[in-house]
Structure 1
Amino acid sequence: MSVAELEHLAKKEKRSRIKVRYLAICHFLEGKSRTEIARYLRVARGSVNKWVTLYLTDGIDSLKDTPNPGRPSRLTPQQLESVAAFVKERSSSTYGGRLQAKDVGEFIHTQFGVEYEGRNVYRLLHQLGFSWITSRSKHPKQNEEAQRLFKNLPHGNDP
């Protein structure tokens, strides 16, 4: 691939990380040292070394980002289904739908022997499609007719 083609690719590229990699290879093909490239692009020299090595061994496509899935879940898909069923059952039970992360965390710990911190329980439940938007509770003695009449009362100096 020529320097002009790489420059054209760099101009078209929207992601700045990939654009910098393309520019590093452009400078390398123009004969600049890796130290000069790193200084000019304000990146680590090790990064330039890595990009040049990737380009020389695997071509231009090797400079694109690879998917990074992160750490795999400590629960199996069947266990995750069990957690989802627990949340659905508890949220629709007659004892009330109030469910907190610590309750789900305790369920996971007692059933599967895996401990999760509260924020990670919320993240796990978000991955399962749950949202922590809660409804406002109603007092059992609340009177909707009295509330409606109160809302219709005049305010302050209103006629």
Structure 2
Amino acid sequence: MNTHTSVELFKLAKSEKDARKKIRYLAVAHYRDNHNKTQIAAMLHVSRRMVNEWVKRYLNEGLTGLDAKKPIGKRCYLNDAQQKQLCQYIEKYSQNDNGGRLTGYRIKQYIEDEFNVSYHPNAIYKLLEKLGFSWITSRSRHPKQSEQVQQDFKKTANGIDQNDPAIYQPE
């Protein structure tokens, strides 16, 4: 399992592209060369505790123990069912044609009202990213907006009919 010589570990370190993993390989290689952990920490400019951790993981798990561990992070306040319900609400509301915008504040209010969970406004956007939504705002539409009136207006210059003889008489 962990039968690598220090020379093999130095070669692995030399070929490794990830700088953090390279330092782990070097720490274990120096340990195999019978340096003490305090000396290794000083050589690599890391704490002795980290050297202890890396050597322990190498001895227990081999080279896979030196791989980067995924950070655990903070647990989400909403469970899976609540996240799914929030996704449905966002999708339903974002496809609403009667003009309103779905803002972070409105999503925050919905979460507080529905699930009795309080989020900081900045955390709402991180939650949306985690749920697979990108925060792109579209141009808002007024609820009383008429597409036909806009098209009619575009056919005239500044709302004035080009064919009106009272305005465009030749001189």
TM-score (norm 1): 0.82
Moved more, 73-82 or 16-25: 73-82
Gaps of 5+ in 2: 159-171
* CA distance in structure 2 between the aligned counterparts of 1:147 and 1:45, rounded to whole angstroms: 77
2:124 pairs with 112, 121, 124, which one?
A: 121
How far 1:129 sits from its partner (Å)?
A: 2.0
C-alpha separation in 2, matches of 1:105 and 1:147: 44
The alignment status of 1:63 with 2:66, answered yes or no, reads: yes
Aligned to 2:90: 87
Displaced runs of 4 or more, over 4 A: 138-142
The root-mean-square deviation of aligned C-alpha atoms, in Å, is: 2.2
Q: Which moved more, 1:80-89 or 1:56-65?
A: 56-65
Q: Which segments of 5 or more consecutive residues in structure 1 lack a partner in the other structure?
A: 149-159
The share of aligned pairs that are identical, in percent, is 37
Contact 2:104 2:121 in 1 (8 A): yes
Equivalent position amino acid for 1:124 in 2: L
Deviation at 1:103, TM superposition (A): 0.6
How is 1:6-155 mapped onto 2 (pairs within 5 angstroms)? Answer: 6-137=9-140, 140=145, 143-145=153-155
How far residue 147 of structure 1 moved from its aligned partner, in angstroms, is 7.3
1:128 is displaced (CA, Å) by 1.8
Which structure exhibits the higher relative contact order, with contacts defined as CA atoms closer than 8 Å and separated by 6 or more residues? 2
Higher alpha-carbon Rg: 2
How many residue pairs end up in the alignment? 148
